[in-house]
Amino acid sequence: MLSNKTALEDLKKVLKNKGMKYTEQRAVILQILFTLDDHLSAEEVHLVVKQKYPELNIGIATIYRTLNFLEEVELISSISFGKDGKKYEPNKKTHHDHLICVSCGKIVEFYDEDIEVRQESIAKINNFKITDHNMQIYGLCQDCQNKS
Amino acid sequence: MLSNKTALEDLKKVLKNKGMKYTEQRAVILQILFTLDDHLSAEEVHLVVKQKYPELNIGIATIYRTLNFLEEVELISSISFGKDGKKYEPNKKTHHDHLICVSCGKIVEFYDEDIEVRQESIAKINNFKITDHNMQIYGLCQDCQNKS
DNA sequence: GTCAATGCAAATCGTTTGCATGAAC
DNA sequence: GTTCATGCAAACGATTTGCATTGAC
């Protein structure tokens, strides 16, 4: 479990290791993902940065470059939801999957041990060595069921 | 389970119902998905059509329009794989999920009753009414494990 | 002072749309 | 003959790239 603070420390460490530079842009993008702790698209991150740090005048290219980098070094991760495209979240938590409301877009995280175990056996049966997996359940959340 | 033949019949029926026209382009695209019985991207479908029916001189716009239509009327369905984007498959089979080799791109289909049941309970716990779900397991297939 | 990172604009990729032409009915 | 479907090219949205400038070290 990474806190906001340790994530920043990790960023500095990784950058130094790779001979890369610590910049405010990189720090800010990482912090936003960790403090908002939500699932944000690249554009959404851009909006938040512009709003919270207008003096930075950050470009969309930097957003993309930084998100790609942060994902590469595993400080954040991304998932592609059907229509809504790619979204990023901080790597704070252990593995989990997502319930997504098809009406309002709400995202609920869940973890199910039984499913994890079954996935392992399915991979074994098919002679696959798992590197990763993801699962999305789409449906109507309580609120949206009530509305209709 | 739809065979190649019945799929074509269904297509004709749907088109008539909707006051739309039966064209060779639409038939050919449907047939390719049913006979190859693989997971193809729009571009891949385009390539196959051009190769197998060069005289049709089919445009990429028609490919997209037709794939969208066929998916809408549920003769085919699509899934988005991480890096590889959207792929289409014929609606021949019952529901299933996918194992995907991260090295060679091979796709293996599977169905697991336990997982389906668990998904239902997870949705119930979170007050979601499931409309759909999908799950991908990424890993190395047997062949690619041997290579490395 | 050096080298990497940034912002900007142009380029690119996958997909969609507008429109004149051609094919199905 | 009417209407819908097609091919083509232009438009589009999301993402990436090239390049001159700026900022970290």
**Sequence spans of domains, chain A:** 4-90, 97-147
Distance CA B77, CA B108 (A): 16
Answer whether B146 touches A (CB < 8 Å).
no
DSSP output for A39-74: -B-HHHHHHHHHHH-GGG---HHHHHHHHHHHHHTT
Nearest-Cα distance to chain B for A77, in Å, is 12
pLDDT above 90: residue A72: yes
Answer whether A19 touches B (CB < 8 Å).
no
Q: What percent of chain B has pLDDT over 90?
A: 75
pLDDT in tens, B57-89: 999 999 999 999 999 999 999 988 766 789 999
pLDDT at position A147 is: 82
Scanning chain A, the segments in alpha helix (DSSP H) are 4-17, 24-36, 42-52, 60-72, 113-125, 142-147
Answer whether A135 touches B (CB < 8 Å).
yes
- What is the phi/psi pair of residue A77, to 5°? -145, 165
Distance CA A14, CA A10 (A): 6
pLDDT at position A40 is: 95
Nearest-Cα distance to chain A for B3, in Å, is 26
pLDDT above 80: residue B3: no
| The length of chain B, given as a count of residues | 148
What CATH class has A97-147?
Answer: alpha beta
Distance CA A100, CA B123 (A): 10
Give the pLDDT band (50/70/90) at residue A49: very high
Tokens of A148: 């209709």
Give the pLDDT band (50/70/90) at residue B92: confident
Q: Do A137 and B128 touch (CB under 8 A)?
A: yes
Cβ-Cβ contacts under 8 Å for B98 (sequence gap 6 or more): B39, B79, B81, B107, B108, B109, B110, B135, B136, B137
Residue A121 CA to nucleotide C5 C1', Å? 46
What CATH class has A4-90?
Answer: mainly alpha
pLDDT at position B1 is: 58
Q: Name the nt closest to A62 by C-alpha to C1'.
A: C6
pLDDT at position B15 is: 98
3-class SS of residue B38: coil
pLDDT at position A106 is: 86
* pTM of the predicted structure, to 2 decimals: 0.86
Cβ-Cβ contacts under 8 Å for A34 (sequence gap 6 or more): A2, A3, A4, A7, A90, A92
3-class SS of residue A141: coil
